[in-house]
Structure formats: C-alpha cells, structure tokens
C-alpha cells in the first residue's frame, strides 16, 4: 500500500446533491485507481442549522450506491475523529500560529457595520467585500478590546498585491489576482472555524495527498494555497471536477428538476443507473464504452479520461441507463424492487413477478410500475367501446371476433393457460380461417387491458388468468 490518501469532505445537509455523488464517486475511483485510501470527513462547522441524523442519511445513501471508505466517522481510523465539530480543540493551536505570524487578525466589526458597508459597496456598484477596517489594529488595542469582552472573528491576512498561482491536475496552472481576494473569516465569533480553515488544517493533519472536489471550489483554491504557505506546509495535489450544467447551460437547480440523490432513489432510480450516469459527467473511457457497473469501473476508470469542460446533466440519459438496468434484473429481483411502490404491497410474489414481467420493457423507473400495471389490478376496466374497433371493422364484427376468441379460450384448460399455448391456439385459428391478425388481436388486447397502448394480449391473458380474462372479454361484449 502506498501513502496516497484522498478524502470526500461533504458538509452534510440531510440530502446528497447529485454533484456531490459524482465527487464521491470520482474520489473513490481515483483512490482505487492509485491504490490509495479513501477517507470520509464530515465538514459540519459551517452548518447554520443542526441537521439531525444527516450523517447517517449520507452514509445510507452512499452505501446504497456502493461507495465505501477506508476511514471515516463510521469506520474510525488513525486520524479520528473524522467529524470537524469533534475536532474543535485542534484548530485553536493552528489559528494561534497564524496570529503569531501576523498572517491572521482579530476583527471586531459588528454585523450591523458589515451590513452597512455591503450596502454602500453595492450602491457604488462595487463587489461586496470586507474593507479590512481591523487589519491594522495595534496589538495593544486588540488585547484591550478582547479584555473588554468585545466579540470578534479572526480573518486571514491576504496579500494586497501580486498573483497567486495554483496548479490543478486537470487544468494546469491558474492565476488569481491577490487584489481579488477577501480577508475572509477563519474563526467565527463563537470560536468555531469556518470550512476554509478547518478543511486545510484537517487535510494536512490527515495526510491527504489528493484533494478531489467540484469546480465550484476553484475560487477557494488560492485562499487554500495561501493557508498552506502561511503554515509552511506542502499542499496536496488538487483535482477540480468540471461543472455540471443543465441542458440550457445553466446551473443545476431544484427549479428545473431533482438535484438530490434521495429524490431519484424515492422515484425508483437504481443505484447502478445513478453510478453509470454520474461517472460520465466529466469522464469518458478510452474506447467510448458507456455502460459500466461500479465493479467494472474499479478497473476501467483511469484519471486520463477526466476532462475539464462542463458536463451536461441529461435526464433522458439517466432514464436510459435506469431502463437498461431495470431490464437486467430478474423478475424476482424486479418484483422485490417494485413492491414498495405498489398500492397493495401484499400482492402474491409469483403473481407480482408476472405483473412486473409485463412492465419491465417499458419501465423507466420503478415507480412507473403503478401506471403501467394499474389495468391488471383494476376490478372493472373503464374504457370507451370505440377503442375496441380496429381499422375498418364494424362494432358487430368486433363483437363477433371477440366471441369466437372467447369460445377458443374457454376450451383452454387451466393447466395450459399460458402465453405460449394461448398464442399458438389463437394464431392457428386466425390463420386457418384466413382472417387478419389485427382484426382479432386488437379487440382482444383492448378487452383485456382497456388501453390504447399496452403489452400484448397473450402475456396479459397469461397474467390475468382464465377467469379474469374471460370476464373482461364478457365485459367488452356487453358494451354498447
């Protein structure tokens, strides 16, 4: 085992954004690819509100998709604890080091003053940014104000001029102007560090060698690097994964559809589909192959396939993958997966397997099972008799065709009541009598399903059983 260590460092909110799933997935795969360790660290110091069991929920959804960690709050490890709010004592020493080096400073500005300052800046068309009012307070004044009990935050002292050059493994060198950087807060007024500070201290202490995260963290990168420099630490390698955009080129947002993995899970997207879909958001294989299981990715994934241009979130593609993986399931597996979505979850297993068999080819997600098979469970079908008419047939001809079929079907013994036998009997009858297949099968299918589009009549009759099928044909015959 080498000393390569990657971490996934989410701020748990109770839901996992699809972009964060991709970050976790890429991190996991790169760690595997490099033969290193994958670590989960919970960055919960910036949380405005306490989200109960957010970490448990996060772990559940990650384990549902099959992503696991070598170290983390649930696994323990040599650098425990892995949750930042359990590490608060650790950060004190490091902020003191920055204060001593004069690379950080106390700021006593009140929330009101900051608000007023921002309003003025906005009115003057300036980007709202801390005006550094406390940057040059004397040590005596700082001590006096602390002694008087004034509240303060601690800010990072940014260079005022010059360029900060950073290196991203996918993009190469990127330059930022120091003058664009704010003296941002490292320690909040309650003594708790911000993400920006705790993240760096922990990456260093946990001996992280590669930081893998989304592109939205690129603006933080120069600030991160300045902190490494301030401490005299060697930074890890950084890989920022490309942005994920919606199909109109905008930011993925809740308004245009689901953005949380849990939403997809609830609707009946399979973990295999989400993984396959996510891995292609910024990565491609050498040979252009697109269908990948997580297991296959463990060997096929290669950092060289990562790109830096934005990835487009195409929900039709996700549906395609989901449909594909639904069709890979055995009927027993699919019945088990669909059961929670049914209005009557106590349906007999063998029967349910037949029912899902009818829907498997058309399903895009598990929750489709209801809509696709409602007609099977319906007590009495409700449809207009005109639907029974095929092409130029008259209502009388339709009824006569249905009666003929009823006659044949009545004679089929229970033991032979299956798709293949029914099909053989009926098709033979149609052929021998030199009739047209559509003239018989359309009315039969409608009589059995009440639908314009549905699975074929023989599979439906097989699933419904003899009694139900004949009742439904009877109903069709009695329609005005």
The answer to whether 425 contacts ligand GLU (rule: CB under 6 A) is no
Closest distance to ligand GLU from the beta carbon of 121 (Å): 27
User: Do the annotations mark residue 134 as ligand-binding?
Assistant: yes
The answer to whether 13 contacts ligand GLU (rule: CB under 6 A) is no
Q: Among the options 101, 120, 165, 254, which is catalytic? A: 254
Per-position b or e across 50-80, b if 16+ CB within 10 A of its CB? ebeebbebbbebbeebebebebbbeeebebe
Closest distance to ligand GLU from the beta carbon of 7 (Å): 7
Token match 């991709």: residue? 22
Token match 């096929």: residue? 300
Closest distance to ligand GLU from the beta carbon of 8 (Å): 7
d(CA 319, CA 322): 5
- With beta carbons less than 8 A apart as the criterion, state whether 115 and 144 touch: no
Among 45, 156, 194, 199, binds ligand GLU (CB under 6 A): 199
Residue 365: CB atoms within 10 Å:
19
Closest distance to ligand GLU from the beta carbon of 275 (Å): 19
User: Do the annotations mark residue 338 as ligand-binding?
Assistant: no
Whichever of 152 and 217 has its CB closer to ligand GLU, that residue is 217
Whichever of 43 and 459 has its CB closer to ligand GLU, that residue is 43
Closest distance to ligand GLU from the beta carbon of 11 (Å): 4
Residue 369: CB atoms within 10 Å:
27
Cβ-based neighbours of 384, under 8 Å, separated by 6 or more: none
The answer to whether 11 contacts ligand GLU (rule: CB under 6 A) is yes
Reported as half-sphere exposure (CB side, CA atoms, 13 A), residue 177 has a value of 2
- With beta carbons less than 8 A apart as the criterion, state whether 64 and 270 touch: no
DSSP state of 42: B
The answer to whether 217 contacts ligand GLU (rule: CB under 6 A) is yes
Stretch that binds ligand GLU, among 126-134, 209-217, 312-320, 328-336 (CB under 6 A): 209-217
Closest distance to ligand GLU from the beta carbon of 61 (Å): 15
What do you get for the CA distance between the two ends of the chain, in Å?
Answer: 77
Closest distance to ligand GLU from the beta carbon of 216 (Å): 8
Pull the structure tokens for residue 80: 């425990």
Task: Identify residues 378-407 at the interface with ligand GLU (CB under 6 A).
Answer: none
The answer to whether 9 contacts ligand GLU (rule: CB under 6 A) is yes
Stretch that binds ligand GLU, among 8-16, 274-282, 338-346, 459-467 (CB under 6 A): 8-16
User: Do the annotations mark residue 384 as ligand-binding?
Assistant: no
* Total of residues contacting ligand GLU (CB under 6 A): 9
Whichever of 15 and 195 has its CB closer to ligand GLU, that residue is 195
- Please, what sign has the CA dihedral across residues 382, 384, 385, 387? negative
The answer to whether 231 contacts ligand GLU (rule: CB under 6 A) is no
Task: Identify residues 275-314 at the interface with ligand GLU (CB under 6 A).
Answer: none
User: Do the annotations mark residue 107 as ligand-binding?
Assistant: yes
Q: Which helix (H) or strand (E) holds 96?
A: helix 88-100
Stretch that binds ligand GLU, among 157-165, 211-219, 383-391, 424-432 (CB under 6 A): 211-219
Pull the structure tokens for residue 163: 């360029």
- With beta carbons less than 8 A apart as the criterion, state whether 218 and 240 touch: yes
Active site residue 37: no
Pull the structure tokens for residue 355: 């029912």
Sheet holding 172-177, edge to edge: 37-40, 5-8, 210-214, 237-241, 163-168, 172-177
Among 43, 71, 183, 368, binds ligand GLU (CB under 6 A): 43
Whichever of 185 and 461 has its CB closer to ligand GLU, that residue is 185
Residue 462: CB atoms within 10 Å:
21
Among 4, 5, 6, 10, binds ligand GLU (CB under 6 A): 10
Whichever of 217 and 341 has its CB closer to ligand GLU, that residue is 217
Task: Please state whether the peptide bond connecting residue 81 to the residue before it is cis, i.e. omega within 30 degrees of 0.
Answer: yes
User: Do the annotations mark residue 136 as ligand-binding?
Assistant: yes
Pull the structure tokens for residue 105: 């400073």
Pull the structure tokens for residue 51: 């989200």
Among 5, 213, 406, 472, binds ligand GLU (CB under 6 A): 213
Q: Which segments are annotated as binding site? A: 107, 109, 134, 136, 254
Q: Catalytic residue positions?
A: 254
> Known binding site for ATP: residues?
254
Q: Which residues bind ligand GLU (CB under 6 A)?
A: 9-11, 43, 195, 199, 211, 213, 217
Extract the annotated binding site for Zn(2+).
Answer: 107, 109, 134, 136
């Amino acid at each position: 085992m080498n000393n390569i260590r990657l971490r996934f460092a989410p701020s748990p909110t109770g839901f996992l954004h699809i972009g964060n799933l991709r970050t976790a997935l890429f991190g996991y795969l790169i760690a595997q690819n490099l033969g290193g360790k994958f670590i989960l660290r919970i960055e919960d110091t910036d949380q405005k509100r306490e989200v109960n069991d957010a970490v448990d929920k996060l772990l559940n959804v990650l384990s549902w998709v099959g992503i696991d960690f070598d170290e983390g709050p649930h696994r323990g490890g040599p650098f425990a604890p892995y949750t930042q709010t359990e590490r608060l004592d650790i950060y004190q020493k490091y902020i003191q080091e920055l204060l001593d080096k004069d690379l950080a400073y106390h700021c006593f500005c009140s929330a009101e003053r900051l608000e007023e300052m921002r309003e003025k800046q906005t009115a003057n068309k300036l980007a709202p940014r801390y005006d550094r009012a406390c940057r040059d307070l004397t040590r005596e004044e700082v001590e006096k104000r602390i002694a008087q009990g004034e509240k303060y935050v601690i800010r990072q002292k940014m260079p005022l001029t010059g360029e900060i050059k950073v290196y991203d493994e996918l993009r190469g060198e990127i330059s930022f102007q120091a003058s664009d950087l704010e003296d941002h807060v490292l320690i909040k007024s309650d003594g708790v560090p911000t993400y920006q500070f705790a993240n760096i201290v922990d990456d260093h202490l946990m001996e992280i060698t590669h930081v893998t995260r989304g592109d939205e963290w690129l603006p933080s990168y120069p600030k991160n690097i300045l902190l490494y420099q301030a401490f005299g630490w060697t930074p890890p390698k950084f890989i920022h994964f490309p942005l994920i955009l919606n199909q109109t080129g905008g930011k993925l947002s809740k308004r245009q559809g689901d953005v949380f993995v849990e939403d997809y899970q609830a609707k009946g997207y399979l973990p295999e589909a989400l993984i396959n879909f996510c891995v292609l958001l910024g990565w491609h294989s050498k040979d252009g192959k697109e269908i990948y299981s997580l297991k296959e990715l463990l060997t096929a994934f290669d950092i060289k396939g990562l790109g830096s241009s934005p990835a487009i979130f195409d929900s039709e593609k996700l549906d395609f993958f989901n449909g594909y993986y639904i069709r890979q399931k055995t009927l027993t597996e699919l019945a088990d997966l669909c059961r929670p979505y049914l209005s009557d979850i106590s349906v007999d297993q063998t029967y349910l397997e037949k029912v899902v068999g009818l829907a498997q080819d058309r399903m895009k997600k598990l929750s489709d099972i209801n809509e696709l098979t409602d007609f099977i469970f319906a007590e009495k079908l409700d449809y207009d008799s005109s639907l029974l008419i095929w092409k130029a047939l008259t209502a009388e001809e339709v009824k006569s065709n249905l009666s003929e079929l009823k006659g044949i079907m009545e004679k089929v013994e229970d033991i032979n009541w299956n798709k293949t036998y029914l099909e053989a009997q009926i098709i033979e009858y149609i052929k021998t009598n030199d009739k047209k297949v559509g003239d018989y099968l359309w009315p039969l299918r409608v009589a059995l399903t009440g639908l314009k589009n549905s699975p074929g009549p023989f599979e439906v009759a097989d699933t419904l059983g003899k009694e139900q099928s004949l009742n439904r044909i009877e109903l069709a015959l009695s329609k005005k």
